[in-house]
Amino acid sequence: MTPAKLHILCIPGSLRNSSHSSAVLRGLQEVASDRARIDVFSLEAVPLYNADLDGEQKPPAVVELKDAIRKCDGLVLASPEYNYGVSGVLKNALDWASRPGYQSVLRDKPVLIMTSSPGMVGGVRAQGQLRQTLAATLSRIIAAPEVVISQVQTKIQDGRLTDAASLKVMLEAFEMLLTEIRR
DSSP for the chain, please give it. Answer: -PPPPEEEEEEES---TT-HHHHHHHHHHHHHTTTEEEEE---TTPPPP-GGG-SSS--HHHHHHHHHHHHSSEEEEEEEEETTEE-HHHHHHHHHHTPSTTSSTTTT-EEEEEEE-SSSSTTHHHHHHHHHHHHHTT-EE-----EEETTGGGSEETTEE--HHHHHHHHHHHHHHHHHHH-
In a domain, 170, yes or no: yes
Contacts of residue 37, defined as CB under 8 A and 6 or more positions apart, other chains included, come to 5, 6, 7, 8
pLDDT in tens, 124-170: 999 999 999 999 999 999 998 899 999 999 999 999 999 999 999 99
Contacts of residue 139, defined as CB under 8 A and 6 or more positions apart, other chains included, come to 75, 106, 107, 108, 109, 110, 111
Give the integer Cα–Cα distance in Å for 28 and 170.
7
In a domain, 25, yes or no: yes
In a domain, 166, yes or no: yes
In a domain, 1, yes or no: no
pLDDT confidence of residue 4: 81
In a domain, 82, yes or no: yes
In a domain, 60, yes or no: yes
Range of the domain at 118: 6-182
The CATH code of the domain that includes 146 is 3.40.50.360
Q: Are 173 and 144 in contact (CB under 8 A)?
A: yes
Nearest CA among 123, 18, 119, 36 for reference residue 77: 123
pLDDT confidence of residue 1: 59
pLDDT in tens, 18-35: 999 999 999 999 999 999
Q: Give the count of domains, the chain.
A: 1
pLDDT confidence of residue 2: 59
pLDDT in tens, 69-101: 999 999 999 999 999 999 999 999 999 999 998
pLDDT confidence of residue 44: 97
In a domain, 153, yes or no: yes
Mean pLDDT for 8-23 is 96
In a domain, 138, yes or no: yes
